[in-house]
Every structure is written in structure tokens, then in C-alpha cells.
Amino acid sequence: MEYKELIEKESKYLMQTYRRKPVYLVSGKGSYVYDDAGNKYLDLVAGIAVNTLGYAHPKLTAAVETAVKTLHHTSNLFYTRPQVELAQKLVENSPFDRVFFANSGAEAVEGAIKLARKYWWQKGEEKYEIISAVNSFHGRTMGALSATGQEKYQKPFRPLVPGFVYVPYNDLNALEKALTSKTAAVILEPVQGESGVNPADPAYLQKVAELCREKNILLIFDEVQTGVGRTGKLFAFEHFGVVPDIITLAKGLAGGVPIGAVLAKEEVAKAFEPGDHASTFGGNPLACTAALAVLEEVLAPGFLEEVLDKGKLFYTLLADAPGIKEVRGYGLMLGIELNFPGAGRVSEILLAKGVLINNVGEWILRIVPPLIITREEIREASEKILLAVKEAGVDGAL
């Protein structure tokens, strides 16, 4: 299908919920994607932190092919080996005891919220309030949207699910004041991604964990974006010296095959009983086989150390450059804050230069490339980013 015809049909047949870039992608290899005209783009978006192993990775490709040729889906009414092996792999490489598989990050957050409420209901305690952070992002389903602390996403869809309270991020006093006898859980992202790659203060997260233990409140970390090696650790909470009661995973877990997961400690996980929660597609053999292939690579000796080193290389090449106020984040989840409102323009310029990047508003660029990106590609990307920032800032901004 030609580009023009594709655009016309997209406009006619699809609900117009996305502001798409004018690019018709048809294939990918490694860290690059290719459009219908054969143009090559270095991908710093990776499906928004999803394509952990980039494109056409031989192990992921072989895993998916094997699953499709044997058993790609069956309901959760039956046992399947990939699902059990994936759960075992996640448990053995984490401080958690049990896993529930969903289809997406939003569904994983829904599952975590339900698990927290069920946990207290089962104990006979009327605790249902969930405290979330301002500028958080937990998904677009009604429960996850209600947990999301951003008015712009919530306003058209009110009334929201009741029982959610929002407090400023990194503000312990505000959190303490928001606690009530009804507080069931606190849900936080260790690094807020959608609002501009804002890491939590480690001391803040440690105090929150202490407070939750002291007040008998569950702590949930939303690691949908930060999990599975994105920050240079298998889980971002490892950077902060804090272990939550529940975490959610999704984006990078199966490298582009849809999957979500809720991991919890035994004491909490056992609150879920047959019939409490379910998913038709969640954890099917195809998704779990793909996730096993991804985890095998991510957990290979030296892989996560490489992610940390490559993140540091990005930082070294970009920090303190003209037009850039700050580079922040962990591993290969970085935010570049500009000192002028031109992130959208920089993104457009980079597109023309063959680099895909995500801008969060007009001040921040988000870098979440495939974790297999090479140092040479990082140098290429950084050089083009600096040129684009300079070009966008020509109008007296720099």
C-alpha cells in the first residue's frame, strides 16, 4: 500500500486517537527501522521502551516462530509450560513469590490495585484508598487512569473510580498528611517516565517504605516502563535500596509481544483466589515464550552492566552541552531537559536527520532505545541530537 493511500485509509477507518509522525514504517533490524521509501532511522523510542532487543533479534524471532508453530494460545483453564517457566524465572530473579500475567501495563496496574484492595478486604479491614503521585502515569483504563495523577488525562472521563488520592512526588510530608485509616496502598513509579523521566529521591523512597511498614500499608511500584533492564538493573527498585510489596511489569518484558505482569510477595499474593482476577490472553504461550527469550538475554552475564555503561556514555556526550539544561535518569531511560521550549522542533529535526526520539512537552526529550544499542550508535545519535538542539535554538534561544 502506498504512503498516500495508507494515510487516507488510516484517517477514514481508525479512531483518531494518535498524533502520528509522518513516517510509514515497514521493517526493522537491530536499533534501526526503515520506512516505505527505504529511509533508515536510528530508533531512540523503541515502541516507547518496549523493544528491549531491538528489531529482528534472532533469539526473539526464533522463540516467537517456535511458539506459533507449536501452541501460541490457549486459555488459562489449562497448564502451559512457557507460563510456568516465565513465572519461575521472574520469581527466582526477584524478591517476589508469585506472578499474575496480563496483557499490558494498564492491566497489570489494574491487577495490582485489585490485589491490594482484596488483601485488606480478606483481612476484614476497610482499607481501599490508594495514594498516588502528582504527574504519575499508570495507564488509560479507568482504574489505572484514576491512579494517574494528571488532570489532563482524567478530565474528559470523569467520574473516575473513587478511592484515589494524589500527593506531590518526592514530598514525604504531603504523603504522611494524606494517610488515613482507609489507606490500602501507595503506588509510585521509581522513575516517572511519561511526565519527563523524573527519578525519585532515594531517601524519599526509603522513607516511604519505612512509613508503609510502620502504618501497615502496602507499597506498589509501577515498573511498567522501568522494569526488565531498562534502568541498568533488572528492576529499578534495586537502585533505591527499597523492596515494595507489589510491582507491575509490561513494556519491555516480551520485547514487543504484548504482556503485563503483577509480582507480589506470598503474604499479599495469596489474597487472590480463583475467580478474583483473570485474563483471556494474559500469559499465553506466545507472549511467555517471547518473554523467556528476552529475559535470557537481559540476564546474560554483563548485559545489565552494558546498559548502565551505555547510559553513562549518553550522559557524557550530552550533559552540559549548549541548549541542554539537564540529562537525568538511569541506564537507557534518560530525559534531556532543554533550556528553551523547543523539544517538539528538535524531534522534527531529528526525524529529518534519521533519528526517532520522543518529546515530552516542549522542554524534554525522552531517550528509551533498544537495550542492544551499540556505543557507535549512541555516538551517532548524540551527535545528531546536539546538532538538532543547536538548529532548533538558532532563534536566539541559545
Q: Which residues are catalytic?
A: 137, 222, 251
Please list the residues that pair with 374 across neighbouring strands. none
Among residues 162, 128, 125, the alpha carbon closest in space to that of 146 is found at 162
From residue 72, how far is each of 42, 69, 97, 283 by CA, in Å? 31, 7, 26, 11
Residue 132 known to bind ligand? no
Residue 180 known to bind ligand? no
Residue 96 known to bind ligand? no
Question: What's the rounded Cα separation, in Å, for the pair 92 and 102?
Answer: 20
Among residues 398, 396, 384, the alpha carbon closest in space to that of 346 is found at 384
Residue 279 known to bind ligand? yes
Residue 101 known to bind ligand? no
Residue 245 known to bind ligand? no
Long-range contacts of range 208-217, CB-CB < 8 Å, 24 or more positions apart?
Answer: 208/172, 208/175, 208/242, 209/242, 209/243, 209/244, 211/172, 211/175, 211/176, 211/179, 212/186, 212/245, 215/179, 215/183, 217/127, 217/179, 217/183, 217/184, 217/185, 217/186
Q: How many CB atoms lie within 10 A of CB 91?
A: 14
Contact 147, 113 (CB under 8 A): yes
Residue 193 known to bind ligand? no
Residue 223 known to bind ligand? yes
Residue 106 known to bind ligand? yes
Residue 31 known to bind ligand? no
Residues flagged as binding site for N(2)-acetyl-L-ornithine: 140, 279
Residues flagged as binding site: 105-106, 137, 140, 222-225, 279-280
